[in-house]
Structure 1
Amino acid sequence: MGLQISGIIAEYVIDEVLNYTKQKLTCQLPFIKKYRDDIITAMPEEFIQQSLQILNSFDTSKTLQFIIEVENNKSLPFLDMTVIREETEEGSTLMTDWYKKKISSNRYIHHRSYHPFNMKVNIIRNLKTRITKICHPRFINRNLKILSGILRENGYPYGLLNKIIHGTPNTLESPRQIESLQATNEEQTRRYITLPYIEELTPPLKKLIPKEKFQVATRNVKPLRSIFTNLKDPTPTLQQNGVVYKISCKDCEGVYVAQTSTTLKQRLSGHKSDINNIRRSCALAIHMIDEEHQPNFEEVSILNKEKNLEKRLFLEMVRISQEEHCINARKDIQNLSSIYYLLIEWDKRKKTRASTDIQSESLVL
């Protein structure tokens, strides 16, 4: 589990298991509902053990094994629902209620957290929609009051909660959702872009982007990892992959910047092999061979970490442009937009002026 394809594989496997079980089971099942590897059904009590034995006989290697949970007080949890069996004059009927595990922390994005306000509003709306969709009408109002109390513990003001949770009808689809369904074809032609969320800058910047062409999403620039200490041992520099790195020259001020998807150790081995065998495969090897210089492999530094190739290539071009004594070939930055190039040059001149002012001040002192 954890891979994107894991859920799809689980669906296929469970379908095969269910087909195998239904062929061997000697009773009829009134319904079967499943999600990934969670299955809920109803059957006579005397067939419970038989069904478990059939399920576990599917995989002879015993790698895939199932367990069964039986209803308690005529109710059974399934995903984020509690399925309740109620006896009536017409027979048994099933109702669903909102289910929360006893170990649930009830923690959501705090109202004072550094996130866009519309994201916090959408949290309230989405939780209300979930309750409205999965709960029997008998339980909706009770669960909405529970939800309001949980969100109050997360710092949400009573007025906002009252307006969204209790001040709007408990419909399954809000007008905004209906409009979004009607505009599905239009959404397919729009491109999605992400911007870092900076409270004073991002909202006015979003207004400048045409909504008919782009859908803008924001990302948090203050993640939890910036607050809490990382308890895991850091990955050694040479074992890291998906990085933009810099190698300096021992005999001059030249530096070489590049990116790699493999581990840095493997990439440095390739550079060493190119230099030793006089292969002019990259700007680093060409510089070292022509100038008879030595690269400083011992002090290689990582400038950026990025798993996405396109983003990593962009970061590589930016880092090359930022270096004053870069030995990379001109073609390495030919795809960099002129706008970014001008911004980088402006930033370099600004830093040069700042360093000059500091030196002049130190001389005066």
Structure 2
Amino acid sequence: MNTLLRTKVSSTNLKMIWVFFAFIPYFIPSHTNILLFIRPSLEALRIQNYNENLDRAKLYLSFPFSPSIDSTGPHPRLKLTYEMENAGHISFLDVWIINQDSKIITDWYQKPTWSERYLNFNSHHPRSYKIGTVYNLVDRGIKLANLCFHDKNLSIIRNELIKNGYPSTFLNKMINSRLKKILACDNNNNTPSLRTVGSHNRYIAIPYVADLYESLNRSFKKYDVQFVVKNVIDLHSVFDSDKDILPKGKQSNCVYKIDCKNCKKPYIGQTGRHLCVRINNHKNNIKEDADRHTALTIHRVDFYHIFDFDKIKILHQEPHCCKRIILEMCNIVKHHDSVNLRQDVKNLSETYIKLYTDSAPR
């Protein structure tokens, strides 16, 4: 006898979960094979020759218990639920598990809430994304299912993608291409990948522009440079995160500007720490030796001017240190009247200097 049983484990202590599975043999008597599908471990565990009937297994899987050989009392920190097979079927993630004549076969499973919507073929996305959509579905329909379900799954894939605007000729070409790769890899005991990635490829992220994106990839392929798509507008710009806005002083990874109250000349700086910490450093820098003074402090000392530390403007936020330094140099060049020392931009490319000098406000 084989029985399919899916369990879901919740505990405040992860060790308790593993203790339970270590003691499973003591809870389930012998003579019945149980295939346990375990969440959240996402693994299937076969328990053989431990059950004469499932009543005792149900008892332990229905209620909290103490994982001890001699104790069957409930334990408040470990809760288990179970789901038995229904007519020889049970689902586990994307797999439909079928108990057929005491043999386990599998099929691709779609939840009842399956929307049947995928990336539309007419949407403004790279062609590679649409090919990847087809490949991903073919992999699921073929690799998760027994051979007897392959034709059914391929028919589902074709029908659903046609509803999403995919041309039949494109679908047939991509499906046949993927099937050949899967078959070739099965013969060689390998796993097919969605694409072959060069070991020395360099990647550049750019916004997607139809035709231009593909043309750049073709042109730079010989230099081992590949362009990838970067979204300029994402969901963060559409939906509120419902999080409280951080006070300006608590924000970090900033490029900032501080204006002089007397001459209105700005100081441009950057910091990876909280902005309030960096501002306190500026205020106290005047107490240090002259050779450790920043450009802001030098301006304060030489002209007896005062900077408006209460009205700091954050120009950019960038977590990557090198990019943040480049942004700082670009803004120093852009604000030609800044009090920053000129050596602060000595590592900036002449191309950027020319670009920002021409566009700088006069």
What is the TM-score normalised by the length of structure 1? 0.73
Q: CA deviation at 1:35?
A: 7.1
In 2, Cα distance between equivalents of 1:106 and 1:198: 27
Is contact 2:253-2:270 (8 Å) kept?
yes
Q: CA deviation at 1:235?
A: 1.9
Is contact 1:109-1:120 (8 Å) kept?
yes
Match of 2:23 among 21, 24, 31: 21
Tell me which amino acid in the other structure corresponds to 1:156: Y
Answering whether residue 165 of structure 2 is matched by residue 155 of structure 1, we say yes
Q: What's 1:261 paired with?
A: 272
Q: What's 1:5 paired with?
A: none
What is the TM-score normalised by the length of structure 2? 0.73
Match of 2:206 among 181, 195, 198: 195
Is contact 2:256-2:312 (8 Å) kept?
yes
Q: CA deviation at 1:252?
A: 2.1
Q: What's 2:305 paired with?
A: 293
**Cα distance, 1:85–1:176 mapped onto 2, change above 3 Å:** closer
Tell me which amino acid in the other structure corresponds to 1:316: E
Tell me which amino acid in the other structure corresponds to 2:338: C
Is contact 1:17-1:55 (8 Å) kept?
no
Match of 2:142 among 101, 109, 132: 132
Deviations along 1:257-303, one digit per CA (max 9) or x if unpaired, are: 2333333334334433435x457453333333333222223332222
Is contact 2:203-2:228 (8 Å) kept?
yes
In 1, Cα distance between equivalents of 2:234 and 2:306: 41
Match of 1:96 among 106, 109, 125: 106
In 2, Cα distance between equivalents of 1:221 and 1:308: 17
Q: What's 1:319 paired with?
A: 331
Alignment of 1:326-345 (within 5 A): 326-336=338-348, 338=349, 341-345=350-354
Deviations along 1:11-30, one digit per CA (max 9) or x if unpaired, are: x9698446533464445766
Q: CA deviation at 1:119?
A: 1.4
3-state secondary structure, aligned to 1:150: helix
In 2, Cα distance between equivalents of 1:218 and 1:263: 31
Is contact 1:129-1:172 (8 Å) kept?
no
3-state secondary structure, aligned to 1:173: helix
In 2, Cα distance between equivalents of 1:285 and 1:61: 65
Deviations along 1:300-319, one digit per CA (max 9) or x if unpaired, are: 22222223333333333333
Q: CA deviation at 1:174?
A: 7.0
Tell me which amino acid in the other structure corresponds to 1:115: H
RMSD: 4.0
Q: CA deviation at 1:134?
A: 0.6
In 2, Cα distance between equivalents of 1:162 and 1:26: 50
Is contact 1:257-1:326 (8 Å) kept?
yes
3-state secondary structure, aligned to 1:288: helix
Deviations along 1:215-244, one digit per CA (max 9) or x if unpaired, are: 442223343445x35363662451433332
- Where in structure 1 are there 5+ consecutive unaligned residues? 1-11, 357-365
Tell me which amino acid in the other structure corresponds to 1:163: K
3-state secondary structure, aligned to 1:244: strand
Q: What's 2:282 paired with?
A: 271
Tell me which amino acid in the other structure corresponds to 2:81: I
Tell me which amino acid in the other structure corresponds to 2:268: V
Match of 1:85 among 94, 99, 110: 99
Q: What's 1:363 paired with?
A: none
| Count of residue pairs brought into register by the alignment | 331
